[in-house]
Amino acid sequence: MTTRDISSRLRAALAMHQQGQLDLAGSVYREILQMQPRNFDALQLLATIAVQQNKSATAIELFDRALSIKPDHAGSLNNRGNALRSLGRLVEALASYEAALRVKPDYVDALNNRGVALRELKRPDEALASYDRALRLKPEHAEVLYNRGELLLELGRPAEALVGFDDALRINARYAEALNSRGKAFDDMDRPEAALESFDRALAIRPEYADALNNRGIVLEDLQRMDEALACYEHALRIRPAYAEALGNRGNALQGAGRLTEAQQSYELALAIEPGNATVRWNASLCRLLAGDFEAGWKEYEWRWQVEPQSSTRRPFRQPQWTGSESLGGKTILLHAEQGLGDTLQFCRYATQVAALGARVILEVQPSLKMLMQSLEGVASVLTQGEHLPDFDFHIPLLSLPLAFGANLSNITNQPYLRADPGKVAEWKSRLGGRRPIKIGLAWSGSGANENDRKRSIPLSQFHRILDEQADFICLQNELRPADREMLQSLSGLQYVGDSLLDFSDTAALVECVDRVIAADTSVAHLAGAMGKEVWLMLPCVPDWRWLMDRGDSPWYQSARLFRQPAPGDWDSVLAEVINAGSSGIYS
C-alpha cells in the first residue's frame, strides 16, 4: 500500500470515527499501524478511540508511542492527561496538561482540564485561576463556565456559581448538567422552588438524568414532601441501580418518613456498594440512635468526623482520645464541646461520671455557657474555646462520651445536673413581678443556622395561641426573627426580656423563676431538662435522634414531657394538645 493509499485510508477511517463508528475506524487505524508502526496520526487517533471507549490504560500506551514521534503535540498531551485523570493519576495528568500548555499557552481545553485536575487535587485557588485564564481567552466557553461554577459551588459560593451556570445556559440552553448544578446552587441558597424549577428543566431535556432526579429528591425531602422525594430516588435507582448516593438519600427520606427499618436497609445497600461512604454511615448511625439502637448507633456516630462540617472542626490534639477503657486515676482529661449549644448542655452531664473515675476534668465549652457550667459537679476547670489549655493526658469530644460509657436506654442518668446562680435567681424574681400565680417560660424557635430549623422551629404567629390570661408568660429567647419580633410587640400577654439575657447563666436563672417551660427543640429545652425544670417539648413528626420515636417521655431528662406532630408540619395539632393537657389546662 502506497503512502497515498494510506492517506486515503486514514481519511476514510477519520470519517468513520467522526460518525461514531469507533470499532470500524479503530480496525483501519490498526491496519495502517501494521504497515507504518510510527504513523503518528493513526496512533493518536487510535488512542483517542481508546479514551472514548474507557480503555484508559491502552490510551496512555498509544499516546506515549505517538508522543515519542512528536513530543510537542499539544492535543496528544492534553488527551493523555484526560486518560491519566480517568485512572486517578492526577499528578501525572496535571503534568501532561502543563506540557500541553508549554507548547500552546492559549490552549483553552488544556486550561479547562488543568482546572479540573487541580480541583480534584484539592488546589481550588489554582483551579479557579486556570478557569479564569481560559475564559479570558474564550469568554463564551460553556464547559469552562460550568466547571468554574461547580468549583465555586464546592467552595460555598453558590451566588457566584449561579452566574456561571446561567452564562453557560445562555450559550447552550439545553445544557442539562448546568441546569442540574444551577438547581444545587439555588438549594444551597435556600431557594427550593427555584431549585426544583432547574431540576425539572434538566429532566425535561434528559428524562433519565439520574443525578438530577437524586438532587430533586434532596430538595423535596427538605420541603418535607417525602413521598415525592422517594419517587425521585426510586426513579434514579431504576436508571442506575448501583447509585450509592441515591440509596443513601432514599434512606434519609425513609428515615424522615419514620420508616426506620426500611431506611436502615437502604443505607446497607448503599454501603454494600461504597463501604467507606462516611455520609451514609453517619446518617445510618442517626437512624439507629433514633430507633433506640444505641449500641450500634454510638459506634457508627464516630463517622461524623469524616463528614462536613465536623471534619473541618476536628481537634488535632497530640494527646490520645479517651475511649472508656484507659485508666483515668490521677490523670487530667479535656472534655470539649463540638457541636451546638443544646448538644453541650445535654452531654456535659458525663463530666461528673468522668470525674468519678479519678480524673481531673477540664471542660471546654462555648463562651455563652462558661458561667453556667461552673455549677457542674466534678469539673475542676471550665474554659471557653480559644482560651489557653493547661496540660492534659487525654481528651474526648462531648458526643463521644456516650460511646465511652456504653450508654443505653437503661443506664442513662437523667437526674438534674445544672443549677442556676442563687443571686441571679433573686434578681429575676424581683424584676419579673407578675399578676398571676403561674409563670410559663416559652421558647418557640432555635438558631436559623441549624440544618433542621425548618422542621423544628414554630412561627410565633402560630405559637402565640397558647397564651392565656391564667398565667404570666415570659420569653426565654434572646434571639428573635424579624416577623416574630414584630408580632411580639402586639402581644401584651408575653413578656420579652431577651436583651437582659447575656449568657446562659442568665437564662438558667430565668428558667428557675418559672413554673414550667414550653419549648420547641432548642437549647432552652435542654437547659430546662438539665436543671430538672418541668419542660413540655414540642417536636416534629420525626424528630432529632435524641428524642427517639413514639414516646411521651425522654430517657435524658426526667422532667420532660414530649408532644409530637401527628403528621409533618402539623403544629396546630401539637398546640391543641399542649393547650388541652392536664385537667385544668396548661397552667395546672
Q: Where do the structural domains in the chain lie, given as residue ranges?
A: 3-226, 227-314, 319-404, 422-586
CB burial class (10 A; 0-12, 13-18, 19+) of residue 183? Answer: buried
Helix (H, G, I), strand (E, B) or coil at 312: helix
Mean pLDDT of 224-248: 96
- Whether the pLDDT of residue 1 is over 60: the answer is no
How much is the mean pLDDT over the chain?
91
Least confident among 303-317, 374-388, 451-465 = 451-465
d(C-alpha 9, C-alpha 81), whole Å:
28
**One-letter amino acid identity for 364?**
E
Per-residue model confidence as pLDDT tens digits over 44-98: 888 888 888 888 898 888 888 889 899 999 999 999 999 999 999 999 999 999 9
Quick one: pLDDT at residue 467?
A: 87
**Which long-range contacts does 383-390 make (Cβ < 8 Å, 24+ apart)?**
385/336, 385/337, 389/334, 389/362, 389/364, 390/332, 390/362
Mean pLDDT of 368-387: 94
Q: Please give the distance of CA 53 from its chain centroid, rounded to a whole number.
A: 35
Quick one: pLDDT at residue 206?
A: 94
Residue among 322, 405, 422 nearest 362 (CA) = 322
CA dihedral 443, 541, 562, 549 (to 10 degrees): -140
Quick one: pLDDT at residue 582?
A: 47
Q: Please give the distance of CA 529 from its chain centroid, rounded to a whole number.
A: 28
d(C-alpha 158, C-alpha 149), whole Å:
8
Quick one: pLDDT at residue 212?
A: 95
d(C-alpha 353, C-alpha 377), whole Å:
9
d(C-alpha 345, C-alpha 351), whole Å:
11
Quick one: pLDDT at residue 8?
A: 73
Per-residue model confidence as pLDDT tens digits over 242-296: 999 999 999 999 999 999 999 999 999 999 999 999 999 999 999 999 999 999 9
**Cell numbers of 370, please?**
462558661
Confidence tier at 491 by pLDDT (50, 70, 90)? confident
Contact 338, 399 (CB under 8 A): yes
- Give the DSSP H or E segment for 28: helix 22-35
| Proportion of the chain above pLDDT 90, given as a percent | 71
Q: Taking the alpha carbons of 101, 102, 104, 106 in that order, is the dihedral positive or negative? A: positive
Give the right CATH number for 3-226 from 1.25.40.10, 3.30.470.10, 3.10.20.600, 3.40.50.300: 1.25.40.10
- Whether the pLDDT of residue 449 is over 70: the answer is no
Confidence tier at 455 by pLDDT (50, 70, 90)? confident
Quick one: pLDDT at residue 4?
A: 67
Confidence tier at 441 by pLDDT (50, 70, 90)? very high
Domains 227-314 and 422-586 share a fold: no
Mean pLDDT of 512-524: 94
Strands of 278-421, DSSP E? 332-336, 360-365, 379-384, 394-397
| pTM, two decimal places | 0.84
Per-residue model confidence as pLDDT tens digits over 193-212: 999 999 999 999 999 999 99
Confidence tier at 450 by pLDDT (50, 70, 90)? low
- Whether the pLDDT of residue 568 is over 70: the answer is yes
- Give the DSSP H or E segment for 262: helix 260-273
d(C-alpha 120, C-alpha 107), whole Å:
20
Mean pLDDT of 505-521: 95
Mean pLDDT of 485-501: 83
Contact 333, 390 (CB under 8 A): no
Per-residue model confidence as pLDDT tens digits over 93-151: 999 999 999 999 999 999 999 999 999 999 999 999 999 999 999 999 999 999 999 99
d(C-alpha 428, C-alpha 472), whole Å:
14
- What is the edge-to-edge ordering of all strands in the sheet holding 360-365? 379-384, 360-365, 332-336, 394-397
Which tops the pLDDT comparison, 376 or 490? 376
**Cell numbers of 588, please?**
395546672
Mean pLDDT of 369-381: 95
Mean pLDDT of 483-503: 84
Question: Which CATH superfamily hosts domain 422-586?
Answer: Glycogen Phosphorylase B; (3.40.50.2000)
Quick one: pLDDT at residue 583?
A: 44
Mean pLDDT of 316-330: 95
First to last CA, the chain: 104
Strands of 33-153, DSSP E? none
Does the domain spanning 227-314 belong to CATH 3.40.50.300? no
